[in-house]
Amino acid sequence: MTRSKALFERAQKSIPGGVNSPVRAFRGVGGTPPFVVRGQGSHIVDADGKEYVDYVCSWGPLLLGHRHPEIVEALNRALETGTSFGIPTEGEVELAEAICEAVPSIEMVRLVNSGTEATMSALRLARAATGRDLIVKFEGCYHGHVDSLLAKAGSGVATLGIPDTAGVPQSFAATTVTLPFNNVQALAECFDVYKDKIAAVIVEPVVGNMGCVPPAPGFLQALRETTARNGALLIFDEVMTGFRVAYGGAQELYGIRPDLTTLGKVLGGGLPIGAYGGRRDLMSMVAPSGPVYQAGTLSGNPLAVSAGLAMLRYLKSHPEVYTQLEARTARLAAAAPSSITVNRVGSMFTFFFTSEPVTDFDSAMKSDRARFAEFHRWMLERGFYLPPSQFEAAFVSAAHTEEDIERTVEAARAWFSKQA
């Protein structure tokens, strides 16, 4: 028995499913998940000493790879002064200023501890600002495990949500309307029906949680125009795209300015963090300035703040990182044959095992998950760690070398040629 298998069996006795986030359990691909003992650059090593080129990158945060020296140095400096105070620090101000400078729509920002916390808080703020209750989301977009957002569409274009998980009351899910992604007509019909009840539309501007699905031309602009015309807010969930697809996130890349933005992942440099920010008039409603309560014991803790500041300062001073990521990820995407649909935005990508275009949740679900699982096992055996689900985006980091990319392309093409 391998050490990873023994650890997995042991973990299942004390942790639900043996993991602390469901996709890690390998249910989507079969087999035993490797248990990691260390990472460096673009590589990770498991408990049995096997080394992998890592395309999960902690599900996106590690834009500079594992243990980047400037982030490690920043963390070491922070550890010399303390891990948490629950009292304001200068670092929090510096990170807030850096976020406001980087992200086009953010004039004020509040730090929290996760992307889920950020989206939950942004929705509360949107409801308070508009005096309305309904939230519009898009099928296949994940905004954290917020009760009201764990809903899927029923029959029809604009149907009030039904719970998509046990433990969520119908009344919570009924505050959410779920629409098909990239469908402007569905958006228009939804506002025709619920016009004066919609507080906000929340969207991943580039979806990552049904695999990488970019916005269709004009879709984000339609969201901006429709919400503005109807007195609703537009929230960009940039937890995944923020600082990854561009320094200023997807809103910089596509030239759309939302009212509120949620952030996480890359922002923390590999440590847990979240943030929500936007227009000054909206953020001034957050306590203690205004009536919208939100608080957190470890919000703005010096470790996460130090890692985040190091990350943002590095990216700002090294804009060539994004050019490099674009080129290397494009080379990976080119490895797939025409029978595979490859979606990519910057350093996010997905090989969809379907020959049809993937533009929304329904088209993503047409992918051959059994073939994806075979491909995943082939790559894993050869030392390449891809997301263990057809419906999760993969990531390239600045630490991935030309050799990493070339070896990955060769291994992928070897599998594809066997299938021809």
Active site residues: 142, 237, 265
Query: Of 198, 195, 179, whose CA–CA distance to 187 is shortest?
Result: 179
Task: Find out whether 205 and 256 touch, Cβ atoms under 8 Å.
Answer: yes
What gap in Å lies between CA 123 and CA 362, rounded to an integer?
26
Region of 200 on the Ramachandran plot (φ > 0 left; ψ -120 to 50 alpha; else beta): beta
Task: Find out whether 352 and 342 touch, Cβ atoms under 8 Å.
Answer: yes
Structure tokens at 179: 């629409």
Burial class (CB in 10 A: 0-12, 13-18, 19+), 255: exposed
Structure tokens at 55: 């395309």
Query: Of 227, 316, 230, whose CA–CA distance to 266 is shortest?
Result: 316
Structure tokens at 375: 């491909």
**Do the bridges between strand 233-237 and strand 198-203 make them parallel or antiparallel, or are there none, so unpaired?**
parallel
What gap in Å lies between CA 209 and CA 30, rounded to an integer?
19
